[in-house]
């Protein structure tokens, strides 16, 4: 006999597990089905984010940053150490421990909130029947008044550079190298390529990133992208733009690459190749015939503004639907859908979802870029301020980068705030709050900012929109 739930969530990533917890908090009888198996072969909650995404990548970024600071940045403070070394095994072990702490944490949260975890691969059948195939091949069925699909995403594989998880790896592989590769090739100068490329570069790898597009970080404001590119170049990241890969052949312990760029045919030999060319919705095998749930041309579940699929009681959230593939976006959708199911108001404003790239310097933004404003014919004005003129940044020896504020030319309403610099992953939220409250550049300019802080760059950039920055010429 099948067990009935008010809510069955498919997927326990940051979209699904958050939806399940919120639904249970609201008094709904909730189950969460997840197929992920961790490094130890046991079910592990938390999806991509906790197992092979946000959390482990940030753990390695932090370890490698400490090492890089010790080897490159401490001398200016008068600190020196002779022959510092990095124990990659210990670094990976620390990362694994953090992953286990957090995936185990979700198990505890499910327990305390009375969410029933179900391990196995779920297929949605018509009538909100969820069939679950466990690792041992046994099949069980759950029925639900509401199903929330949170199936997440998987890495895109290139046909001529297939993952062998030894020499040609995806994000999971690049988070688990046993030692620092001498030569690391990365396909795709996107978020994963830059973050994981930075990790291994800081530990001594020669890192070459091959990017198909002619513009660097095309989704970011191009002033910010250019400033970031200058810093990455100084760090020795070799980023080759407008380069189209045609071959990646494993020969012994090497990967031989062929690509074409503006100069013609090029070749490159690396020891490891990370392919990070984007992710696609993880919807394969998810839907049985006749559910009525539609997939778009990219395999994403089609939903409306409220994450409803158009089929009674079936919702979808996170990476497997439209919008940015970001953990916090999925979590907010999870909360909104659980609240809608419980008869409350629930909404996610995709226009104010912050983006962060955790390189050094960090890149962060919310809202429209200058390029988007131009393309959409929106009249705008901008103000920017460099960290080099911020006292705290100079005291920290973190002078790279700037803040740029874009406001509507007539109403002064904030359209976008863009940052590259130290700690901007934390600073961006001031702009998110201001934009959620429909604030103007004038609002940011009139808010008292503590001195000396990095956030003074936001204050000065907002003042600069009206050509009245205090600590630079306007
Ligand atoms: P997922 O986290 O992918 O979880 C989906 C879960 O559903 C998985 O456990 C999967 O096994 C399970 N599942 C799928 N289909 C089924 C099925 N049919 N039956 C049962 N279970 C199923 N985002 C950020 O915001 N910040 C970051 O710093 C960041 N860093 C990242 C670093 C890397 C290396 C990567 C790869 C991604 C990173 N992301 C980051 C993106 C972030 O991980 C995703 O946006 C987020 O995990 C999406 O959450 P989700 O719940 O939609 O899906
Ligand atoms: P991405 O979309 O960020 O970048 C992929 C890059 O690969 C793009 O620049 C694209 O032009 C390039 N590309 C595509 N095909 C190519 C080819 N054949 N040859 C060379 N270049 C090619 O994707 P990603 O880095 O794989 O990350 C996937 C998603 O995961 C991101 O979009 C993001 O949503 C999420 N993520 C977020 C964070 C974060 O928030 N800090 C970190 C990692 C991942």
pLDDT tens-digit map of 428-451: 999 999 999 999 999 999 999 999
CA distance 428 to 164: 38
Angle of CA points 372, 58, 156, to nearest 5°? 60
1 pLDDT higher than 80: no
Instruction: Provide the 10 A C-beta neighbour count for residue 353.
Output: 16
Confidence grade of residue 2 (pLDDT, cut at 50, 70, 90): confident
What residues pair up with 260 in beta bridges, in sequence order?
A: 244, 265
For strand 153-155 and strand 314-316, is the pairing parallel, antiparallel, or unpaired?
A: unpaired
Pick from 432, 431, 360: nearest CA to 396: 360
Q: Is 45 in the pocket of ligand 1 (CB under 6 A)?
A: no
Integer Cα distance of 258 and 265 in angstroms: 7
Beta-bridge mates of residue 355? 365
For ligand 1, atom 46: residue with the closest CA:
327
User: Smallest Cα–Cα separation from 458: which of 419, 423, 432?
Assistant: 419
**By C-alpha distance, which of 417, 380, 414 is closest to 402?**
417
H or E, element range at 433: helix 424-436
Tens-place pLDDT, residues 164-197 = 999 999 999 999 999 999 999 999 999 999 999 9
The whole-number pLDDT of residue 464 equals 98
For residue 435, the model assigns a pLDDT of: 98
The average pLDDT across 76-102 equals: 96
Task: Look at residues 45, 152, 60, 19 and name the one whose alpha carbon lies nearest to residue 102.
Answer: 45
Q: Is the Cβ atom of 197 under 6 angstroms away from ligand 1?
A: no
For 29-54, the DSSP string reads: -EEEEE--B-TTSSB--SHHHHHHSH
Work out the mean pLDDT of the chain and round it to a whole number.
97
Ligand with the closest atom to the CA of 353: 1
pLDDT, tens digit (0-9, with 9 covering 90-100), for 199-258: 999 999 999 999 999 999 999 999 999 999 999 999 999 999 999 999 999 999 999 999
Q: Has residue 85 got a pLDDT over 80?
A: yes
| Residue 270 reports pLDDT greater than 90 | yes
Does residue 155 register a pLDDT over 80? Answer: yes
User: How far apart (Å, rounded) are the C-alpha atoms in residues 469 and 474?
Assistant: 6
Write down all domains in the chain, each with its CATH number in brackets.
3-154+280-351 (3.50.50.60), 168-277 (3.50.50.60), 361-465 (3.30.390.30)
Average pLDDT value for residue range 252-280: 97
> Is the confidence at residue 297, as pLDDT, over 70?
yes
Q: Examine the residue annotation and report whether 449 is marked as an active-site residue of this protein.
A: no
Neighbour-count burial of 130, counting CB atoms closer than 10 A to its CB (0-12 exposed, 13-18 middle, 19+ buried):
buried
Which ligand has an atom closest to residue 118 CA?
Answer: 1
Which listed residue (347, 408, 451, 459) is catalytic? 451
What is the per-residue pLDDT across 303-358, written as a single tens digit (0 to 9) for each? Answer: 999 999 999 999 999 999 999 999 999 999 999 999 999 999 999 999 999 999 99
- Answer yes or no: are the C-beta atoms of 48 and 13 closer than 8 Å: yes
pTM score above 0.95? yes
The stretch 363-374 carries a mean pLDDT of 98
Q: Which of 465, 428, 457, 462 is nearest to 445 (CA)?
A: 462
Stretch 82-91: mean pLDDT: 96
The residue whose CB lies within 8 Å of the most ligand 2 atoms, and thus the one to mutate among 199, 219, 277, 362, is: 277
Determine what percent of the chain is predicted with pLDDT higher than 90: 99
Residue 431 near ligand 2, beta carbon < 6 Å: no
Residue-by-residue DSSP string for 274-326: EE-S-EEE--TTTB-TT----B-TTSPBP--TTSB-SSTTEEE-GGGSSS---
Q: Atom 30 in ligand 2: which residue has the minimum CA distance?
A: 325
Give the ligand at the shortest distance from the Cα of 186: 2
């Amino acid at each position: 006999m099948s067990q009935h739930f008010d809510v069955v969530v498919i997927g326990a990533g940051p979209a699904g597990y958050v939806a399940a917890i919120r639904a249970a908090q609201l008094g709904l009888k909730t189950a969460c089905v997840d197929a992920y198996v961790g490094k130890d072969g046991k079910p592990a909650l938390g999806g991509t984010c906790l197992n092979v995404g946000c959390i482990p990548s940030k753990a390695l970024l932090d370890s490698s940053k400490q090492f890089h600071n010790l080897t490159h940045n401490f001398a200016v403070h008068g600190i020196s150490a002779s022959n510092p070394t990095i124990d990659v095994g210990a670094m990976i072990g620390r990362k694994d421990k953090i992953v286990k702490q957090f995936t185990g944490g979700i198990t505890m949260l499910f327990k305390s909130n009375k969410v029933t975890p179900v391990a196995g691969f779920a297929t949605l059948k018509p009538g909100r029947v969820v069939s679950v195939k466990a690792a041992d091949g046994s099949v069980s069925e759950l029925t639900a008044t509401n199903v929330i699909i949170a199936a997440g995403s998987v890495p895109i594989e290139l046909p001529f550079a297939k993952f062998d998880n030894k020499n040609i790896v995806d994000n999971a592989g690049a988070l688990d190298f046993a030692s620092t590769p001498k030569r690391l090739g990365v396909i795709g100068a996107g978020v994963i390529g830059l973050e994981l490329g930075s990790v291994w570069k800081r530990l001594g790898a020669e890192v070459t990133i091959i990017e198909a597009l002619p513009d660097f970080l095309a989704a970011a404001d191009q002033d910010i992208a250019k400033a970031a590119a200058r810093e990455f170049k100084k760090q020795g990241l070799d980023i080759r733009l407008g380069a189209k890969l045609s071959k990646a052949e494993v020969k012994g312990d090497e990967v031989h690459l062929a690509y074409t760029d503006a100069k013609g045919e090029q070749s490159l030999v690396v020891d490891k190749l990370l392919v990070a060319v984007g992710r696609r919705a993880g919807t394969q095998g998810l839907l049985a015939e006749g559910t009525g749930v539609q997939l778009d041309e990219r395999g994403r579940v089609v939903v409306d503004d409220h994450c409803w699929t158009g089929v009674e009681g079936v919702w979808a959230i996170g990476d497997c639907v439209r919008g940015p593939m970001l953990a916090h976006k999925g979590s907010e959708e999870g909360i909104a859908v659980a609240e809608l199911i419980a008869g409350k108001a629930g909404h996610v404003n995709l226009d104010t979802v912050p983006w962060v790239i955790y390189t050094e310097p960090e890149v962060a933004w919310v809202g429209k870029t200058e390029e988007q404003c131009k393309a959409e014919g929106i009249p705008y004005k901008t103000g920017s301020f460099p960290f080099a003129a911020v006292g705290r940044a100079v005291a920290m020896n973190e002078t790279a980068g700037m803040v740029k504020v874009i406001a509507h030319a007539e109403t002064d309403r904030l359209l976008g705030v863009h940052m590259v610099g130290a700690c901007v992953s934390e600073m961006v939220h001031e702009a998110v709050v201001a934009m959620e409250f429909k604030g103007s550049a004038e609002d940011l300019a009139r808010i008292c900012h503590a001195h000396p802080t990095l956030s003074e760059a936001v204050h000065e950039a907002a003042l600069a929109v009206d050509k009245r920055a205090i600590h630079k010429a306007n």
